[in-house]
Chains A and B, each alone.
Chain A
Amino acid sequence: MLLIYCPYCEEERSELEFRQAGDAHIARPTNMTEMTDEEFEAFFFLRDNVKGLTFERWRHLNGCGRFFNAARDTVSDKFLTTYKAGLPKPDLSTLRPATEAIVETYEATESDAK
């Protein structure tokens, strides 16, 4: 079970109380009526789906009910940090461990793709 630190409850809680809520830091356009369809598509639908570090919105749904942001590694599922909604992206250089732990992925250990 993953433990996720809620910045409003100020403690770690089980992942069972949380829901992922898409990408964080998406700037909502202020001129939506003047946008082309392509521009709207890019804002509304297109996401990077990166492998590795990603910034996400999460909601402590069955807890304090608050939305907050998280920096998470999509390979290891490790949460690097969480922070309150509205705050800028944190400086991750201060958070990264000095030596990166080796994550045993399926690709690295089992598959032909290694």
Chain B
Amino acid sequence: MADLIEAATRTLPLSGFHGGSAAAVLSVATPATRISLRAKPDAVSALSGALGLSLPMKAKTSASLNGRHALWLGPDEWLVIDENEADLMAAVAVSNVLHSATDISHRNTAILVEGRGAEVAVNGGCPQDLSLAVFPVGACSRTVLAKAEIVLLRTAEDAFRVECWRSFAPYVSGLLAEAAEDAGN
């Protein structure tokens, strides 16, 4: 059995995927750990301490530190992502306050959209105003990309991280590829 576990290789959605256009380059993000975190306001400071970054309390904002990101999704809901694959479940477990954490590391995958046409490419399917004044660097939101739900994080003026459920990954990546082509024109 141990041999089997050692021999099993993880199959990543969109493994090796890259594409887009000169204006908007698409690539698949490296595997990350993720939790869906729910908590009341009185638990936020303890959870922030346990995670080592302040859970944002304002709509559409995020906090990032050393590859760990906490994204405000709702008044009591956050998506926490760790690009270094740290054990987030263990991190929040020691907070000693009432909360709900669900490991969704493998539920999501992320596509990175980068380049001067990144905003146009994402807007190819997302109805939000992504101008820098309204959606600045660090802004995040659960929203839609055409028919798929996504969580969008602006990582730089010309870069977005698009989180989607893994079963939607072919659809989301295909749509972004089309939009990236259009963004170059």
- In which size bucket is the chain B interface? 10 to 19
Instruction: Give the shortest distance, in Å, between A5 (CB) and chain B (any CB).
Output: 12
Given A8-B59, A10-B59, verify A62-B74 contact (CB < 8 Å).
no
- Which 6 pairs show the lowest CB-CB distances between chains A and B? A14-B127, A64-B74, A9-B59, A65-B74, A62-B144, A16-B127
Q: How far is the CB of A80 from chain B (nearest CB, A)?
A: 22
With contact pairs A62-B149, A65-B74, A65-B142 given, residues A11 and B127 touching in the complex (Cβ less than 8 Å): no
Least Cβ–Cβ distance between A41 and chain B, in angstroms? 35
Asked whether, in the complex, the Cβ of A64 is within 8 Å of the Cβ of B59, the reply is: yes
Interface footprint category on A: 10 to 19
Determine the chain B residues whose CB is within 8 A of the CB of A8 once the complex forms.
Answer: 59, 74-75
Which of A14, A16, A17, A64 is B75 in contact with, Cβ under 8 Å? A64
> Which residue in A14, A64, A66 is a CB contact (below 8 Å) of B128?
A14
Chain A residues contacting B143 (CB-CB under 8 Å) are 13, 17, 62-63
* Residues from chain A with Cβ under 8 Å of B127 in the complex: 1, 13-14, 16-17
B141 within 8 A of A: yes
Judging by beta carbons under 8 Å apart, are A66 and B144 in contact? no
Q: Name the B residues within 8 Å of A1 (CB-CB).
A: 127
In the bound complex, how far is the Cα of B127 from the Cα of A63, in angstroms?
12
Measured CA separation A62–B146 after assembly (Å): 11
Q: Mark A1-39, 1 if CB is under 8 A from B, else 0.
A: 100000011110110110000000000000000000000
Tell me the nearest residue of chain A to B148, going by C-beta: A62
CB atoms of B142 and A62 under 8 A apart: yes
The answer to whether B59 and A66 have CB atoms under 8 Å apart is no
A62 neighbours in B (Cβ, 8 Å): 142-144, 149
Is B142 touching A66 in the complex (CB atoms < 8 A)?
A: no
